[in-house]
Amino acid sequence: MITKDIIKEMKQQGHGAIANLVKSQHDVGTINFILEHLGQLPSNFDSSFLYELLTHQHHQVRLNAVKNIGKLNSKTDISKLSDRYKIETDTTVRREIISSIGRQRSTHNKPLLFDFLNDEDPKIVCQAIRGLLVFEKDKEVEDHLKPLINHPNEMVRTVIYKEYFAQDNKNVDGLPHHETHNFLKNVVVNADVLQALKYVPDESVHLTFTSPPYYNARDYSIYPSYQAYLEFLEEVFKETHRITKEGRFLIVNTSPIIIARVSRAHASKRYGIPFDLHPYLVKNGWEFIDDIVWLKPEASVKNRIGGFMQHRKPLGYKPNAVTEYLMVYRKSTEKLLDWNMRSYDHQTVENSKVANGYETTNVWKIDPCFDKVHTAVFPVELCKKVIQYYSYKGYLVFDPFGGSGTVGRTAKALNRLFFLTEKEQNIFNICKPKLNRKVCSMNDKLNF
């Protein structure tokens, strides 16, 4: 049996020992095992057998051959690789060929890499871009890459934008990334969110966590139509995007809803709010990051399966809806998350580290919370998780649909700051004493 130690020993022997070993094998699995465990290749390595393997009938062997050829660096026979690229049908092998050519960092390969920019596979185009970007301040490279800002593929456009077009968009007020305005700290405003946000400067908040009204399913909000409802939410999240710091998160809790039927002659109607809202968020600069499922105990939700349990007739199946979504988005930026994290001092990072017991999957089992006055209150446990996982201590958490103020209270308990808006006076009145903080009512004319 061929082991890693045997491969190592034969590699050290040289004189084509590995080539002979590979050639004597008929089993594809063993050939791949050898190729995958070759490690670094010595300068006197006899690589000719690797080029022969470029025509092997099994794609994994071809892929491993290309990977090893890539390790040869300056000794790589580029013409053999580019010939193979022209006839290769396997996507992973084609991509690896471009990656190997790019890794050579040789100016001789530039014309080839320019050709690859026309490939129909966006990943090949990205590999070629990567290979070309090593030639910094090279006018010819820039002339080939900059026009790709109009490439049909979004990944390609993003890379080019970051390299050539992104500007350091400083906050208009010159506020550092980690800071916010004093007049927004621990404030709840009794007003329509869109009215209130007119007074909030760009790039003010670090995290938004909210549960918008459930269309017309609950009595605290009435919209003339579903389209009007979605357009209202679009406006709210467009404004939220404006006031959010670069690269920071928005987490929206929603779920499909049901509007009861008008009479027995009509059907009730389901509305897939999370799915319908998603395109509006993406369109307005929110990058989709994750879908977290909030799982509730079956006993806590409305029973819909009862009828089916009796009749068992297909088509009449209506499962009990035990989940809601937490849709996680990030304000689109070409900057990596690291950039956001580095804006905090060492102590803040240490103090904000998430303790053991955090969720490891995107399904969070949490009991719902029932409130005598407000029908859709966040469980504190849910708020705690979101705030701890998506914000640092001392920074501003926003809830445009503040309700009874759960986000505010939890943010405060976790040493964050809060800024909430809530339209309904009676709900605001419940929220106010609970938060025991600066409040701002409609009568103050939003004069913070």
Site residues, ligand SAM (CB under 6 A): 192-193, 211, 213, 220-221, 374, 376-378, 401, 403-404, 406, 421-424, 427
Written as six digits, the tokens of 109 are 């390969």
CB of 331 to ligand SAM, least distance (A): 21
* CA–CA separation, 207 and 185 (whole Å): 13
Which of residues 390 and 401 has its CB atom nearest to ligand SAM in the complex?
A: 401
Which of residues 356 and 447 has its CB atom nearest to ligand SAM in the complex?
A: 447
Tokens 């050290």 found at: 12
CB of 107 to ligand SAM, least distance (A): 59
* CA–CA separation, 201 and 181 (whole Å): 9
CB of 403 to ligand SAM, least distance (A): 3
CB of 352 to ligand SAM, least distance (A): 23
Which of residues 132 and 377 has its CB atom nearest to ligand SAM in the complex?
A: 377
Q: Which long-range contacts link 147-152 to residues 24+ away (Cβ below 8 Å)?
A: 148/117, 151/122, 151/125
Query: Which 8-state DSSP code applies to residue 383?
Result: H
CB of 339 to ligand SAM, least distance (A): 30
Query: Which 8-state DSSP code applies to residue 15?
Result: T
Q: 271, 256 in Cβ contact below 8 A?
A: yes
CB of 116 to ligand SAM, least distance (A): 51
3 state SS of 329: strand
* CA–CA separation, 424 and 426 (whole Å): 6
* CA–CA separation, 100 and 86 (whole Å): 15
3 state SS of 27: coil
Which of residues 155 and 228 has its CB atom nearest to ligand SAM in the complex?
A: 228
Which of residues 127 and 421 has its CB atom nearest to ligand SAM in the complex?
A: 421
Of 336, 337, 343, 334, the closest CA to residue 175 belongs to 343
Which of residues 96 and 324 has its CB atom nearest to ligand SAM in the complex?
A: 324
Residue number closest to ligand SAM, CB atom:
403
